[in-house]
Structure 1
């Protein structure tokens, strides 16, 4: 399988989107999205993919949404933002805002915590960090294929990056919406591939300093 964006030895970064306790961990919350995360087993696959990136010397970046405890600077300008604020748990200082208990953060990983917005680039330092790391291709995983991952793909493309989506390391609100996104919408922006294939490509390269 040819992976556009990785087939010429481009330097990638793994962006792990919103795999946080209050969003994806059934020990802390439950929703159709959490159910899909559990059914699809994405947390263990993301951990394995992250290990492959670390072994190759490529950046692993956790992109978390962590509003301030008082939600200052967090505009409630869409239904999803309203739900997050009303839930009142995924915010600074609470365990629900932390990365999923079963997804370890290792030395050298980067944790990006934004206090607003539904996608990781706008109003954050993510683009500057990626350029500082010489990254050419973004590999996306996490949640959700409904909102954050299409948003991240669109932002990354606009900034000149290539995008790969590790499909079996992602989940959406329902199986049906996930399948629609990865078969109809996201292929217009990203190369869709299994995590193992992405890991194999990354393992053939080394970007160690």
Structure 2
């Protein structure tokens, strides 16, 4: 299923939120705990596309929410009920609260009006994090999901968004996973079944030249 060149009916900035997922230095930065994922996110252009979308969202008045995964130095409250969490505990770079690792990575801009939501547990940027309540208070109806990884957090975010009643939109060139070719397969065979798949260029065009909303 090919990405749509333009979103049907456009995306109303007043009811749309752009979500960046784990676009933090310790994940996609030069000193990443997951260097393969960081390399793919940068080489594929996904991180640059996230940055472009965030900058355009700021210009268009679209609310931006940055979802960050972190842990306390003592590990209190962190999940340990999956192999992934136990692996993360042993990585040389830890996503510790208050460190450079949990700052939003360049070149993604952070505006004064952006919301940064940090989670200490789980796999999803939405489930159990308070993001759902924030989105409803903002008046969100459509959630644009970007970032990493297409292996775990991105599909979690999309499924949770749909289950919570939001329309999910995924710019396929603004997400990344490993191996590099996995993302296209995930989008085609899974995300396209539940979300509107589009491109960074189509979203930028819609936000810069919005059509009349019905």
CA distance in 2, matches of 1:51, 1:137: 18
Question: Is 1:143 aligned to 2:148, yes or no?
Answer: yes
Once the two structures are superposed, residues 175-204 of structure 1 have per-residue CA deviations (whole angstroms, 9 ceiling, x without a partner) of 221121011111011111111101212223
- With structure 1 as the length reference, what TM-score do the two structures score? 0.91
Equivalent residue for 1:201, pick from 183, 189, 206: 206
Shift of 1:2: 4.3
CA distance in 1, matches of 2:195, 2:61: 23
Once the two structures are superposed, residues 15-41 of structure 1 have per-residue CA deviations (whole angstroms, 9 ceiling, x without a partner) of 000011111112444532112112112
CA distance in 2, matches of 1:184, 1:95: 36
- Equivalent residue runs for 1:16-165 within 5 Å: 16-87=20-91, 89-165=94-170
SS in 2 for 1:89: coil
Give the gaps of 5 or more residues in structure 1: none
Shift of 1:139: 0.3
Give the gaps of 5 or more residues in structure 2: none
Shift of 1:121: 1.1
Cross-structure match for 1:7:
10
Q: CA RMSD of the aligned region, Å?
A: 1.8
Cross-structure match for 1:166:
171
CA distance in 1, matches of 2:110, 2:198: 24
Decide whether the 8 Å contact of 1:56 with 1:205 is kept in 2: no
CA distance in 1, matches of 2:23, 2:167: 22
- With structure 2 as the length reference, what TM-score do the two structures score? 0.89
